[in-house]
Amino acid sequence: MSKTIRIGTRDSELALWQANIVKKLLEEAGHKTELVPVKSTGDLVLDKPLYELGITGIFTRTLDIAMLNHDIDIAVHSLKDVPTILPKGIIQAAVLKRGNVNDTLVFKDNEEFLGAKEAVIATGSLRRRAQWLNRFPTHTITDLRGNVNSRLQKLEDNDWNGAIFAAAGIGRIGIRPEEAINLDWMIPAPAQGAIMITALDEDDFVKEACAALNHEETEICTTIEREFLNKLEGGCTAPIGALAYIKDEEINFKGVLLSPDGTKRIDVTRVKKLGEHHDMAQYCADFVIERGGKRLMDNIKNSDRKTNVYSTKSFTEDQRLLFHEKVVAESSDFIKISLNRIAPRLLKNEIENVVITSKNAVESLTTNYSAIELQFKNIYCVGRKTKRLVENKIGKVKHTEKNAKKLAEYLVDYIEGTEVTYFCSDLRLDDLPNILEENNIKVNEIEAYQTKYDGVKVNDLVESAMFYSPSTVESFVKANNIEVIAFCIGETTAKEAKKHFKDVRVAKVPTVESVIELVNEHYI
């Protein structure tokens, strides 16, 4: 046990108190420790409410970077501040036994204002704001940021009736006023009152040391709450509350989603036997979503942020998460594909040279015929993903290039024979057939699928668009008459984009992820 465990923490009084608890527990277990205080973005930027900063993990990011840089071995957080998805390589190593889960009202003079029509309450939490206004709709909420000491001082210095705090926070450092009252009607933030330790997944020594500090009951309950939050796609920007607790071998759960002004509220409760609770969060999130939660979340997300990027292809969830926080991206499919029936007579004999430039052509072929029926001697294609799909579903690819023009140039020099069969769309905007025919190579075009324009009108304030084929450019232009920065997946797409836009940029590799990287580079 010669290794000294370096404990990373924010440098506020509460964060240091929590880190010292972990330090004490580790030292009692025989480990050497060292505290490493780090100032976070969340502590430095205090001129806006937390929910307006738009940064996931604002109180944890600096410590995450320090850990990934091996400047610290573990980090201690208030679990409610930690994003539900941790950075790659970082894990939840332990959760300590939970403290007081409640929100607490500290009032300036007395609590008589609770019965008054007008009152001013201070909080920087969107969740607390929404629940208070839901209960007291005529009251006024004012923003309150800073550490717990400075917030209490601001309450003293301002003409407010009261302010809301986490009971655990003001209780742990011994500054809870005697007259403060717990708001047992207010559903707390997911994992409120719990202290979490994160570590590098690769560090077995540290993981083993922290595992001894883990409190299983707290871990079970906070995991359900955070999974509920994750399923609703919430965070600092959404008023979501959740609380799970275990009683008589049963897990009791209650959750809530509100509109920021408190006028709309969706509640859910659930009780399951311990051990049969693994679908609890999913069930409760689905319950909320099905009762208007999805529309409510969409309204919250789009209420104060303007879309600056529009994608002409719908994102997967994993792709959406790749965007920098400064990017507000929307997406929809500007192209709709209809697979054609390919006549058997066109494939009755083995075809010597086949050209495939899109995954849609592969899907059309394999929808019509089995791999055994597709007798192709030499298959040439465009793009790594198309190649992978061809080899999974049809057969070995002889050669691939990153775009159609380069493939045509390759075929001019190296093709076996003087004829190719090209499975393409009814809308074909690439140069491949022209280049081949100019070099005396016959091209038999077979329409494998139809491409239909399905563009939507985007907001005129959209600054840029993401394009993945010449057809997506055409579809966008048909529906919109605005100048945008065109982020393109490849040179063929860029060529079409240059006909319509002044600023055209091309991704390093022809993938959606690479186009997203290009967008991030522009907006960071």
Question: What are the catalytic residues?
Answer: 81
- Dig out the tokens for 361 from the structure: 């052509």
Q: In what order do the strands lie in the sheet with 195-200?
A: 32-38, 4-10, 74-78, 195-200, 90-95
Report how far residue 72's alpha carbon sits from residue 90's, in angstroms, rounded to the nearest whole number. Answer: 12
Bridge partners for 122 per DSSP = 142, 163
Q: Which of 423, 425, 430, 478 is nearest to 453 (CA)?
A: 478
3-state SS, one letter per residue, for 108-164: CCCCHHHHCCCCEEECCCHHHHHHHHHHCCCCEEECCCCCHHHHHHHHHHCCCCEEE
Rounded to an integer, what distance in angstroms lies between the CA atom of residue 377 and that of residue 353? 6
- Would you tell me how many other CB atoms lie within 10 Å of the CB of residue 503? 13
Query: What is the dihedral sign for C-alpha 225, 226, 228, 234?
Result: positive
Token reading at 404: 């159609």
Rounded-to-integer distance, Cα 475 and Cα 468, Å = 11
| CA 486 – CA 466 distance, rounded (Å) | 6
User: Between the CA atoms of 117, 119, 123 and 127, what dihedral angle is there, to the nearest 10 degrees?
Assistant: 0
